[in-house]
Amino acid sequence: MCKQFDHSGIEPRIVEKSKTLITRTVKNNVKTETFTITLPPPNVTGSLHLGHAFTSIIQDMLLRYKRQHGYATLGQPGLDHAGIATQIVVANQLQEQGINWQELERDEFINRVWTWKEQSGGTILYQLVRLGMSIDLDRVRFTMDEEASNAVLYAFTTLYKDGLIYRAKKIVNWDPILKTAISDIEVSNRIEQGKMWYIKYPIGQCNFITIATTRPETLFGDQALAVHPDDERYKHLIGTKARIPLTDRTIPVIADDFCSQEKGSGVFKVTPAHDFADFEIGQRHNLHCLSVMDESGHMNDEVPKEFQGLPVLKAREKLVEALQEKGLVERTEEITHSIPYNDRSGAIIEPMVTNQWFLDTKTLADAAIKAVESGRIKFIPEQWTNTYFEWLRNIQPWCLSRQILWGHQIPVWHTENGKMFCAMTEEDAKQQAKKYFCVDDKSIPKLTRDPDVLDTWFSSALWPFVTLGWPKSREEMRKYYPTDVLVTGFDIIFFWVARMVMFGLYFTKDVPFKTVYINPLVRDEHGRKMSKSKGNVIDPLRLMNKYGTDALRLTLASLAVPGRDVNIGESHVEIGRNFITKIWNASKFLEMKKCLFDRDFNAHNNNLEKPLNKWIVRKLIEFKRTAQSALDESRFDLYALSVHKFLRDVFCDTYIEAIKLCDDDETQNTACAVFAEYIKVAHPVIPFVTEYLWEKITNGTEQMLLISPWIDNCDAHELKPDLVDHYISVAGEVRSLKGMIGCKEKLDLLIKAGENDEFVKSNVHWIQQLARVNSVDIVETFPSKGIRFFVAGRELFIKYPHEISKSLFDKKLNTLAQDVSRLTEKIANESYKKAKPEDWQSDVDLLEVKKVELQKMEAISWNY
């Protein structure tokens, strides 16, 4: 028999064997109850990281759990085209081949991306399958496949028709590296050291007014200086003109409530084209928008010659020098402030005024808020509703357009003089134009399609229903929609969750999912974020190869405490692996013991003779209930813990130890039946080893565990502790005493004659085994030499000829005395008695037991 469990050998085989069953349970139309999870579609560029692994196994546990219980279970897989991310990857690849992608025709570039997508798009799906995801790969969808693309066009045109999508020239977050707009939530702020310059703007002949700025280079775009209307220092200047340094251009000094008298110098330079706040002030005061840089973040020809063409930072440097030369820099200040970045490209965001497409989100957001307020959608943990609400309540119009090539091109056609037609196809647009201009086919003005593409998240927001055939087919929608659970990270509550809810409610008049499980962030074992630069990234594939997929799954599940980040190190997975080995060893024991699977032997039907067998069945039921309620409450950590505890503490350490000397049929059958039930319950978290062992113990005669329901006819059993529990504690106490006195040899255990004599006599074999003693005898009186001890008030005795340490005895006595005094004090409390009479009574009873134990202990002489 080999010494180690070989996960690598069985995993691919089980995956292969599960395929048809998974497909069938999706397509199965017999069951009316469905369970659906739309898997968050990973980027086509992606490869599996621990975060994916974590989210995925949580989903798979639910899928397997529900599938075992007979639901028509759908885990809908897919891939996201990930507009900007993918374009960057492909552009870089082309660059490595010496091709400048910007010189390629639009179609040519897009073809390249498709080629690349075909090559590498399936990698992550394969990796998900390695994780044991029970998903049907024939159902894999792509956010840019034909159906999804049509759905996107449909959604866009519908929103346009309903007046929710509009085009406007507004200030947006501009990425000068990618040369595209991005939405506000794509901007991330980094705290950095920087400078604040106090710059003097000349007023009249010899006066100055000082402004403070971190972005001096934008001063060429200034349209005004603003002060607070009540600011005594500057009141007299309102209405006068100041001159922009280094130029001849003058700008008015205006009053605006927005200005704070405390910040900076109290004077605010207004540059509507390059700052969000300034843009708004500009709108209020009807100021011109003068842009001073181009789309790549270089100064344009609106600035003095010597600055033209310089990138922002260079221009800033040069400008400050020039100002200093003229004595126009009053002072500089070192400050810490946050700088907006686009993490994808690494670019510093430049607010720029451009023409973009926007979605008016306000009304959509209201419905989305209500859906959560009313409980139609539930968040786990609930606290994330705060995040969700906060964003939706302050929602801004969504900038939908991106000036990139890879994505869903906006379905709007422009005429040369600025008329727009939104349509699903060019032909439709032409027809609209024809009608609008009242012309015949030949005279339709030339139409050019808008070159922009949609934000990737636009198609993602439609994902839960697009994958079910929307808008074309309703069949699967009826069956699987709304989906049941969405499992995702808190970082995309805005990007994805909220938008799915908005679009779901808008387009399908229903919520897209009922429960949102926000899974924790995965960090390294010391709680640091995993990143390539820190070198602490753990590759899940490596862990799976080394320790087995089950080990990784069990480890992740046991760490899935809601509302708390997960710290994971390789040592954790090692523990998981050790546990898988333990299960395997337990099965080896059963095999050795010739415990055979008998499908007609039902351990639950309560006609067992032996107390120990009844006991393990009772424990199994308790375990099953714990596991079930943990899964029902999305407590995957507690579920994993129960899987762990039952096998180790109950089945192995107690039951297997106890039955080592039992060779009767009932015990053999029970052992196997309980183990078989156990692996069913453990299957959702550790599918491979359980499926493998199931196959082995059933000799392949049964259907796969994948679709085997847990037996659940538990009501007949009393779940109260019984004599078996008592004598298990007795045995534990014997082992503990032996350990503490350092006794290695086997001793004799004496039990004082009493009401349980019959039970002890007929169960002596396992009590002896568990207590690691030679014999167990019932006696009327105890000999003088030995160790007296108590379990739950009953007196016991270990024959022991040697002297044992007094300190050990004193220690026990002390604990007992402490218990007695604590309990005495506690029950003396009249308010306690009144408030919780039942608790109080059980404390009274306990005290009685302890008192007796203490008395007897004190009566024992320890002098030999």
Partner RNA sequence: GGUCGCAUAGCUCAGCGGUAGAGCACUACGUUGACAUCGUAGGGGUCACAGGUUCAAUCCCUGUUGCGACCACCA
Per-residue binding string, RNA, 677-716, x by CB under 7 A, is: ----------------------------------------
Position 263 contacts RNA (CB under 7 A):
yes
Residue 259 or 399 having the CB closest to RNA = 259
3-state SS class at 702: coil
CB of 390 to RNA, least distance (A): 6
CB of 599 to RNA, least distance (A): 24
Position 556 contacts RNA (CB under 7 A):
no
Per-residue binding string, RNA, 101-130, x by CB under 7 A, is: ------------------------------
Position 631 contacts RNA (CB under 7 A):
no
Distances (CA, A) of 594 to 97, 590, 597, 695: 64, 6, 9, 16
User: Considering only residues 493-552, where is the footprint of RNA by CB under 7 A?
Assistant: 494, 525-527, 529
Distances (CA, A) of 541 to 571, 587, 842: 16, 27, 53
**Which one of 37-45, 51-59, 261-269, 662-670 is the stretch in contact with RNA (CB under 7 A)?**
261-269
Position 564 contacts RNA (CB under 7 A):
yes
Distances (CA, A) of 675 to 140, 551, 578: 36, 19, 18
CB of 618 to RNA, least distance (A): 20
Position 451 contacts RNA (CB under 7 A):
no
User: Considering only residues 569-588, where is the footprint of RNA by CB under 7 A?
Assistant: 571, 575, 577-578, 581-582, 585-586, 588
Residues 6+ apart with CB under 8 A from 13: none
Cα atoms in the 13 Å half-sphere on the side-chain side of 394: 7
Position 276 contacts RNA (CB under 7 A):
yes
Q: Which of 321, 839, 848, 858 binds RNA (CB under 7 A)?
A: 839
Residue 134 or 654 having the CB closest to RNA = 654
Residues 6+ apart with CB under 8 A from 798: 734, 737, 738, 747, 748, 749, 750, 773, 786, 787, 789
Distances (CA, A) of 618 to 670, 710, 771: 12, 15, 22
Contact between 182 and 399 (Cβ < 8 Å) = yes
Q: Which of 836, 841, 848, 862 binds RNA (CB under 7 A)?
A: 836
Residue 212 or 685 having the CB closest to RNA = 212
Residues 6+ apart with CB under 8 A from 487: 37, 40, 55, 58, 59, 62, 517, 519
User: Considering only residues 646-675, where is the footprint of RNA by CB under 7 A?
Assistant: 648, 652-653, 656-657, 660-661
Residue 585 or 703 having the CB closest to RNA = 585
CB of 465 to RNA, least distance (A): 27
CA distance 770 to 630: 31
Position 279 contacts RNA (CB under 7 A):
no
**Which one of 352-360, 437-445, 455-463, 819-827 is the stretch in contact with RNA (CB under 7 A)?**
819-827
Q: Which of 120, 354, 567, 756 binds RNA (CB under 7 A)?
A: 567
Position 338 contacts RNA (CB under 7 A):
yes
CA 246 to the chain's CA centroid: 54
**Which one of 146-154, 164-172, 487-495, 706-714 is the stretch in contact with RNA (CB under 7 A)?**
487-495
Nearest to 467, CA basis, from 847, 37, 2: 37
Which tokens belong to 507? 């387009």
Position 373 contacts RNA (CB under 7 A):
no
Q: Which of 201, 268, 421, 678 binds RNA (CB under 7 A)?
A: 268
CB of 690 to RNA, least distance (A): 16
Per-residue binding string, RNA, 713-752, x by CB under 7 A, is: -------------------x--xx-xxx-x-x--------
Q: Which of 592, 780, 781, 863 binds RNA (CB under 7 A)?
A: 592
Which helix or strand (DSSP H or E) is residue 83 part of?
helix 83-96
Which tokens belong to 650? 């109950």
Residue 356 or 508 having the CB closest to RNA = 356
**Which one of 22-30, 414-422, 633-641, 717-725 is the stretch in contact with RNA (CB under 7 A)?**
633-641
DSSP conformational letter for 753: -
Going through 204-277 in order, the beta strands assigned E by DSSP cover: 207-213, 224-227, 241-243, 250-255, 267-270
Position 340 contacts RNA (CB under 7 A):
yes
CB of 836 to RNA, least distance (A): 4
Burial bucket for residue 738 (CB in 10 Å: 0-12, 13-18, 19+): buried
CB of 718 to RNA, least distance (A): 23
User: Considering only residues 311-330, where is the footprint of RNA by CB under 7 A?
Assistant: none
User: Considering only residues 166-225, where is the footprint of RNA by CB under 7 A?
Assistant: 184-185, 188-189, 196, 211-215
Nearest to 689, CA basis, from 603, 595, 586: 586
Residue 140 or 734 having the CB closest to RNA = 734
User: Considering only residues 30-89, where is the footprint of RNA by CB under 7 A?
Assistant: none
Residues 6+ apart with CB under 8 A from 860: 788, 809
Contact between 4 and 42 (Cβ < 8 Å) = no
CB of 531 to RNA, least distance (A): 11
Nearest to 735, CA basis, from 653, 656, 856: 653
Q: Which of 80, 217, 350, 637 binds RNA (CB under 7 A)?
A: 637
Residue 288 or 746 having the CB closest to RNA = 746
Q: Which of 13, 337, 472, 534 binds RNA (CB under 7 A)?
A: 337
CB of 540 to RNA, least distance (A): 18
Q: Which residues of 260-298 are buried (b: 16+ CB within 10 A; e: fewer)?
A: eeeebbbbbbbbbbbbebbbebbeebebebbbbbbbebb
Q: Which of 162, 565, 712, 803 binds RNA (CB under 7 A)?
A: 565
Burial bucket for residue 237 (CB in 10 Å: 0-12, 13-18, 19+): buried
Q: Which of 11, 60, 275, 455 binds RNA (CB under 7 A)?
A: 275
How many residues are present in the chain?
Answer: 864
Sign of the four-CA dihedral 710, 713, 715, 717:
negative
**Which one of 52-60, 245-253, 334-342, 787-795 is the stretch in contact with RNA (CB under 7 A)?**
334-342
**Which one of 563-571, 622-630, 685-693, 751-759 is the stretch in contact with RNA (CB under 7 A)?**
563-571
Which tokens belong to 525? 């074992």
Helix ranges, 357-424 (H): 362-373, 384-393
Position 473 contacts RNA (CB under 7 A):
no
User: Considering only residues 384-423, where is the footprint of RNA by CB under 7 A?
Assistant: 386-387, 390-391, 394
CB of 212 to RNA, least distance (A): 2
Position 258 contacts RNA (CB under 7 A):
yes
Cα atoms in the 13 Å half-sphere on the side-chain side of 380: 20
* Backbone phi and psi for residue 231, each to the nearest 5 degrees, phi listed first: -75, 110
Number of chain residues interacting with RNA (CB under 7 A): 87
Position 9 contacts RNA (CB under 7 A):
no
Q: Which of 265, 459, 634, 669 binds RNA (CB under 7 A)?
A: 265
**Which one of 120-128, 426-434, 692-700, 822-830 is the stretch in contact with RNA (CB under 7 A)?**
822-830
CB of 645 to RNA, least distance (A): 8
Distances (CA, A) of 555 to 53, 63, 390, 614: 11, 18, 34, 31
CB of 765 to RNA, least distance (A): 11
Angle at 842 between CA 841 and CA 847, to 5 degrees: 95
